[in-house]
Amino acid sequence: MKEISRWKNFGGDLVVFEHDAKTTQSVMTFAVFIPPQAKEKPVPVLWYLSGLTCTWANVMEKSGIQAYAAKHGVIVVAPDTSPRGENIPDNEQYDLGQGAGFYLSATEQPWAEHYQMDTYITGELQQLIINNFPVDDEKQGVLGHSMGGHGAITLFLKHAKLYKSCSAFSPILSPSDVPWGQKAFQAYLGSNKDTWQAYDATQLVKSHQSEQEILIDQGSEDQFLSTQLPKEDFLAAANEHDQAVMYRLQAGYDHSYYFVASFMEEHIAWHVRQLKES
């Protein structure tokens, strides 16, 4: 693990690292915000999963998350959204390949060798963080935006012992039914749609539930709301299968980080409350 950049930030430190990841067979970059409280004792950790085109930087530069993490004393980890590099398969479009890993394990060529983002985040990077930072590994939560909201909810439902809290901004809730998800799943997982279900929150919630309520915010003026982010099927499935969801449609907000920043304080407080109770 090699330190790339470090900034003093809200009394803590924002540090960017890169490391040779076995899971993705590539160099992976991630950022960690370490609040001042972590000098005294192990603290909870929140995993922030970003959306299409993003790196660790979007959330750290635009959302204000460090201020709330410093206030509540939680570490924030922001992984990249895919493996990257010249030898890593890519696509010229923004919603496939580098920057668009979809938090899954690809089985198809040319992606399968490197695009293993769910295993990377829940396995390899998880271990790296536990081994190198003062985290209370019994107090971990996951949140994300858009493609990262899909990642947060699907990883949360599948790893209920690992993550004790979950929230999402503008998540893709039914990826198998919308263009972003269909394009990615077809490329990474192939045409057998049965394999898509393991990465589709609307399907997963029928068999995997958590005792913890999931917080979801979407903006009423989100330009992707009706085409990429419909909520109805997920909310119906969650309701039918007793997964509690706090769904909020926030009037006037769009898909951008202006929206994410507006509700980040509430999301961090939500996680802190849930982790205390867990």
Ligand X SMILES: N[C@@H](CCC(=O)N[C@@H](CS)C(=O)NCC(=O)O)C(=O)O
Residues at the interface with ligand X (CB under 6 A): 51-54, 58, 62, 94, 145-147, 255-257
Q: Of the two residues 83 and 151, which places its CB atom closer to ligand X in the complex?
A: 151
Q: Is 191 a catalytic residue?
A: no
Q: Which residues of 214-237 are buried (b: 16+ CB within 10 A; e: fewer)?
A: bbbbbbeebebbeebbbbebbbeb
- Catalytic residue, chosen from 105, 146, 174, 262, is 146
- Beta strands, E only, the chain: 2-9, 12-21, 26-34, 43-49, 75-79, 135-145, 165-169, 214-219, 245-250
* C-alpha to C-alpha distance for 219 and 196, rounded to whole angstroms: 26
Closer CB to ligand X, residue 59 or residue 275? 59
Give buried/exposed letters for 93-129 (b at 16+ CB in 10 A, else e).
eebbbbbbbbbbbbeeeebeebbbbbbbbbebbbebb
Say whether the peptide bond before residue 110 is cis (omega within 30 degrees of 0). yes
The tokens for 159 are: 């790893």
Catalytic residue among 114, 150, 255, 271: 255
Q: Least Å distance between CB 51 and ligand X?
A: 3
Cβ 145 to ligand X shortest distance, Å:
6
22 versus 258: smaller Cβ distance to ligand X: 258
The sign of the CA dihedral 230, 232, 235, 236 is: negative
Instruction: Give catalytic status of residue 255 as yes or no.
Output: yes
Active site residue 114: no
Which of residues 57 and 130 has its CB atom nearest to ligand X in the complex?
Answer: 57
Active site residues: 146, 222, 255
